[in-house]
Amino acid sequence: MNDFPPALSQILVHLLKGVLYREQTPQLWHDLLTLEAAVRDYLAVLGLVLDLDDAEGYAFVRQRDGGDDENPVPRLVARRPLSYPVSLLCVLLRKRLLETDASGGETRTMITRADMIDLMRTFLPEASNEARIVDKIDEHIGKVEKMGFLRELAAQPGIFEIRRVLKAFVDGEWLADFDARLEEYRKHAVDGA
């Protein structure tokens, strides 16, 4: 009937649903490394590319760039524009990852809910209702967590791990313009837009 390993289906379904982390599913990760060529071949048929970072322990699927294809494959992976506060939080979290990497310390980067609120306040327009600001920032934290860039520790509510996959989405080239972008965000906050 079929001559492909059963693990291939599990890997592909997991990747099509989201990010695959080595620490969460070690056996599936091992299978992915073993079947990497088959996974890449299958995804290529769908116009997708496997983005695998073995050093950081994550893999995900991205849409292949259209380039000059005569017959481009329709987009399978949806692009979702991020709101200003969500993109800002992603940038601030990525900066925190960069600082941790530069210090050469921990392999995991932790941040508290209170720290994220303090970081975000600098860039958000002033408002009179403090509770409303905190609620809105909590919404943004929830969205970033749902995207897979944050994971709240089960044993320590209010403390989050910044997932290293964020590095693939907010890359070094983007961070090269980081200060200019932060200045744009500050201006955005002052303008109240």
Kindly report the CATH number assigned to the domain that includes residue 120.
1.10.10.2260
Task: Give percent above pLDDT 70 in the chain.
Answer: 79
Average pLDDT over residues 125-150: 86
Largest Cα–Cα distance of the chain, in whole Å? Answer: 66
Assigned domain for 89 exists: yes
Task: Return the SS3 of 187.
Answer: helix
Whether 75 has a pLDDT exceeding 90, the answer reads no
Q: What is the DSSP letter of 11?
A: H
**Residue 1: its pLDDT value, please?**
43
Name the pTM for this structure: 0.73
Same domain, 186 and 106: yes
Backbone angles phi, psi at 192, to 5 degrees: 75, 20
Q: Which amino acid is at 71?
A: N
**Residue 103: its pLDDT value, please?**
83
Backbone angles phi, psi at 74, to 5 degrees: -60, 150
pLDDT tens sequence across 141-178: 999 998 889 999 999 999 999 998 988 887 766 666 66
Assigned domain for 68 exists: no
Hey, which bits of 29-183 come out as E strands?
48-53, 58-63, 109-112, 150-152, 159-162
**Residue 193: its pLDDT value, please?**
47
Average pLDDT over residues 28-49: 94
Assigned domain for 103 exists: yes
Q: What is the average pLDDT value for the chain, to the nearest integer? A: 83
pLDDT band at residue 20, thresholds of 50, 70 and 90? Answer: very high
Same domain, 97 and 43: no
pLDDT band at residue 102, thresholds of 50, 70 and 90? Answer: confident
**Residue 185: its pLDDT value, please?**
65
Q: Ranked by mean pLDDT, which of 70-74, 101-105, 122-126, 163-167 comes out on top?
A: 163-167
**Residue 29: its pLDDT value, please?**
96
Whether 138 has a pLDDT exceeding 90, the answer reads yes
Q: Which two tokens stand for residue 58?
A: 């994550």
Assigned domain for 171 exists: yes
The residue segments making up the domain with residue 19 are 6-63
- Name the residue with higher pLDDT: 22 or 4: 22
Assigned domain for 57 exists: yes
Q: In total, how many domains does the chain have?
A: 2
**Which residues, including other chains, have CB under 8 Å from residue 68's CB and lie 6 or more apart?**
none
Same domain, 24 and 114: no
- Whether the CB-CB separation of 54 and 46 falls below 8 Å is answered with no
- Name the residue with higher pLDDT: 121 or 124: 121
